[in-house]
Amino acid sequence: MITAQHISKTYKVSKRDAGFSSAFKALFRKEYEYIHALNDVSFTILDGEMVGYIGPNGAGKSSTIKILSGILTPDAGTCRINGLIPWKNRIEHVKNIGVVFGQRTQLWWDVPVLDSFELLKEIYRINTRTYRQNLEQLCHMLNLSELLKTPVRQLSLGQRMRCELAASLLHDPAILFLDEPTIGLDAVSKLAVRDFILKLNKEKHTTVILTTHDMQDIEALTSRIILIGKGKILLDGSIHDIKKGQESTEEALAAFYRSHDI
Amino acid sequence: MRLYGKFFMMHLKSIMEYKTSFFLSCIGQFLVSFNVFLGMYFMFQRFNNVSGFTYEEVLLCFGITLMEFSLAESVARGFDTFDSMVKQGDFDRVLVRPRNEILQVLGSRIEFSRIGRILQAVVMFSYGFAVSSVRWTLGKVLTVLFMLMGGTIVFCGIFLLYASLCFFTIEGLEFVNIFTDGAREYGKYPVCIYGKRVLLFCTFVIPYGLIQYYPLLYLLDRGKPYYCLLPAAASLFFFPCLFFWKLGVRHYTSCGS
């Protein structure tokens, strides 16, 4: 179970005008601006739930994921995930989670996928039997057997994303964080990824928290959405709460963003 | 340790994809430090001593310092590119894995082309030994081992310090190279030749003197007996560096996307 209470996070960013002279000025005197990425955010997510975490760019989605996965320490607030505080019990906590960053890869560029998997086996100290079992199962579900021997640099984005998913699930995590898992994928790959996530949730009862800008992801995968804007939670419920009449989810969402001026 | 071995194999596999580039950079690495040696050699052709140190003695000093640096570099080079790891957000990945962060950063980059430099260091080290007029005793051999260990730890500490600074700012960190690559270049001569202030700095702030100058005096029968233990004191330098690193990890703010 994930409980987050009153989480706040502020970043200090330096700002300056464009151009050489202001760049030169910034050498000596920097001006800072405080950005409230998260402002009193609270929610609870039960085991086995699938939650879509959505909001416009810069709303604080990634910050939340980073706090939940133990990368960042919030300025205020508490968070417990299966009894552990992510940023304090980092090592214990991350054993039980898988994280996929859609825009980055955790696979090694120049070596076959299987080699990266073997390294993960070592990193997570997975015993050989569990590893074989999981690998076989994931290969079957994601249709990877052809890809395992190919160097990552030769994979297409869709193929790579499937490998990426497998890589983050080899150690049987109870919670999976997906940060824009379908970004840049073609229709076939998107469907494959969605199918897989649904199946995973059903068969292994994995808690899935996903951020995305693709409304079809949301419709296909999650019954619950948490909508965040300017660091605040604006809605915790179903996508149908904001949909009126015949408009598409995309339109409804855009209208919602506009009405909240975010 | 097993994990580090695993990282090592991964880098080996990766590098085998680009053979030519690998050999060329090995040769390059070798030649760069060979250059330093040539500079020293020609200088001693004209002057037969520097602040009372003869060619043979300086050579021994250079051999040992280069060896210390190369050893440190081959383990701790991951820290040297740590700024790009922070900039590109790859450190996030390190943090979501259940292993020590330092081990993972070290494993993230292992440069086999450094083998060129290590080879060079071994050659210099053995040459320095062969021509030196030191009367070797068990104590002195142990002192050399001590120097190598202490020196490797001090250089690793500086690399770690460099990496820790990346948590606070990622601009203008080039100046830290004065203490790494710079120290390698200047370290070919015993630090006392640079004057009293430098020596004081190298004794109490960044303890180069303790891993090079003082134990060298001991080897040459010019120092006090306790000088042979100073490399051990130098390795204490690692603790503040480690503390600084931990502080940095807590301060880490990741980056966009």
Q: Could you give the percent of chain B with pLDDT greater than 70?
A: 97
Domain extent, residue B40, equals 2-251
Q: Among A4-8, A20-24, B33-37, B164-168, whose mean pLDDT is lowest? A: A20-24
Contact B13 A115 (CB under 8 A): yes
Query: How far is the C-alpha of B194 from the C-alpha of A7, rounded, in Å?
Result: 54
pLDDT tens column, A130-185: 999 999 999 999 999 889 999 999 999 999 999 999 999 999 999 999 998 998 89
For residue B257, pLDDT over 70 is answered with: no
What pLDDT is attached to residue B139? Answer: 87
CATH architecture classification, A48-106+168-259: 3-Layer(aba) Sandwich (3.40)
pLDDT at B78 over 90: no
Band (pLDDT 50/70/90 cuts) for residue B26 is: confident
What ipTM was reported for this prediction? 0.84
Q: Which residues in chain A have Cβ-Cβ distances shorter than 8 Å to B104? A: 123
Closest CA to B162 of B144, B150, B152, B175: B175
- pLDDT, position A49: 93
The confidence band for B255, taking pLDDT boundaries of 50, 70 and 90, is low
- B87 at interface of A, judged by CB pairs closer than 8 A: no
Cα–Cα distance, A99 to A89 (Å, whole number) = 17
- Whether residues B10 and A99 touch (CB distance < 8 A) is answered with no
For residue A11, the chain B residue with the least C-alpha distance is B253
- The beta-carbon neighbor of A122 closest among B6, B88, B250 is B6
Q: How far apart are CA B40 and CA B58, in angstroms?
A: 9
Q: Name the residue type at position A232.
A: K
Distance, in Å, from the CA atom of B184 to the CA atom of B67, rounded to the nearest integer, reads: 10
Which positions ≥6 away from A75 have C-beta within 8 Å? Answer: A8, A9, A10
- For chain B, give the mean pLDDT: 84
Q: Which pairs count as long-range contacts for B18-21, CB under 8 Å and 24+ apart, including other chains?
A: B18/A110
Query: Which of 156-215 (A) contact B at CB < 8 A?
Result: 179
**CA-to-CA distance for A175 and A99, rounded, in angstroms?**
9
pLDDT beyond 70 at B17: yes
Please check whether residue A92 touches B, CB under 8 A.
Answer: yes
- Is B232 among the domain residues? yes
CA distance B120 to A113: 36
Q: Cβ of B99 and A123 within 8 Å?
A: yes
Interface of A with B in 36-65 (CB under 8 A): 62
Q: Do A119 and B10 touch (CB under 8 A)?
A: yes
Residue identified by tokens 């060079």 is B120
How many domains, chain B? 1
User: A51, A212 in Cβ contact below 8 A?
Assistant: no
Q: Is the pLDDT of residue A255 over 70?
A: yes
| pLDDT at residue A150 in the model | 92
The whole-angstrom distance between B171's CA and the closest CA on chain A is 10
Neighbour-count burial for B29-60, b at 16+ CB within 10 Å, e otherwise: bbeebeebbeebeeebeeeeebeebbbbbbbb
- Residue B257 resides in a domain: no
pLDDT digits (tens, 9 = 90+) for A84-102: 999 889 999 999 999 998 8
pLDDT, tens digit, 9 for 90 and up, residues A29-62 = 777 788 888 999 999 999 999 999 998 888 888 8
Q: DSSP secondary-structure letter at B172?
A: S
Helix, coil or strand: residue A147: coil
> Which of A94, A110, A119 comes nearest B96 by C-beta?
A94
Instruction: Round to whole Å and give the CA distance between B193 and B185.
Output: 14
A10, β-bridge pairs: A36
Give B174-227 pLDDT, tens digit per residue: 777 777 777 777 777 888 888 888 888 888 888 888 888 898 888 888 888 888
